[in-house]
Amino acid sequence: MTTPLRVLAAAVLAAIPVFVGPACAPGPERVAEPAVAVDDPSRSPVDAYDFQVVPAGPGRFIVTAIRRLGGRAATGDAAVRAFSAARAREHGHLASARAWLLLGREAARHHAPDVATAAALNGLRDLGETVQEPPDPALLDRLQTQIKAYRKAHFADFAE
């Protein structure tokens, strides 16, 4: 099975640091559509809280998180307005939750409910949610709802 170029491009772009000067771009924009790719086991693992923060203009940053689970890797991002990279990094949890959501949806499409549940639980944990009841099939929908709620709660910080 070959991996489409579009899927690989998202993983490659997420792995390459890009620095854009203030005069080059009016604000942060996504560089590729979110996608899930086959995980390359030769790459070093990414720490669960390791975010890449790239300047994208004055007071603007792109925060990216790569998450791996079930032999797949996904990249999530968030375009953030902030006065410093450290402040922008605080919203890395949104980027991480988006990556977990992509992994969970991909696992659900491939009939891997355990991987989908694990991805949803990881994403909910990243957003500060605690799940005490037994996991249910609607966890991915709950994660998507929480991602929207996080964006709404921090509306002024996002430029997307």
Bridge partners, residue 83, by sequence: none
Q: Residue 48 pLDDT more than 60?
A: no
Q: What is the largest CA-CA distance in the chain?
A: 51
Range 27-61 burial, b when 16+ CB lie within 10 A, else e: ebeebeebbbbebeeeeeebeeeebbbbbbbebbb
105 lies in which domain range? Answer: 5-157
Q: What is the pLDDT of residue 137?
A: 67
Contact 64, 54 (CB under 8 A): yes
35 band by pLDDT with thresholds 50, 70 and 90: low
Mean pLDDT in residue range 82-98: 89
Q: Residue 10 pLDDT more than 70?
A: no
Q: What is the pLDDT of residue 133?
A: 67
Number of domains in the chain: 1
Strand-by-strand arrangement of the 72-81 sheet: 36-38, 72-81, 60-69, 52-55
Q: What is the CA radius of gyration of the chain?
A: 16
9 band by pLDDT with thresholds 50, 70 and 90: very low
**Residue 75's Cα: distance from chain center in Å?**
5
**pTM given for the model:** 0.68
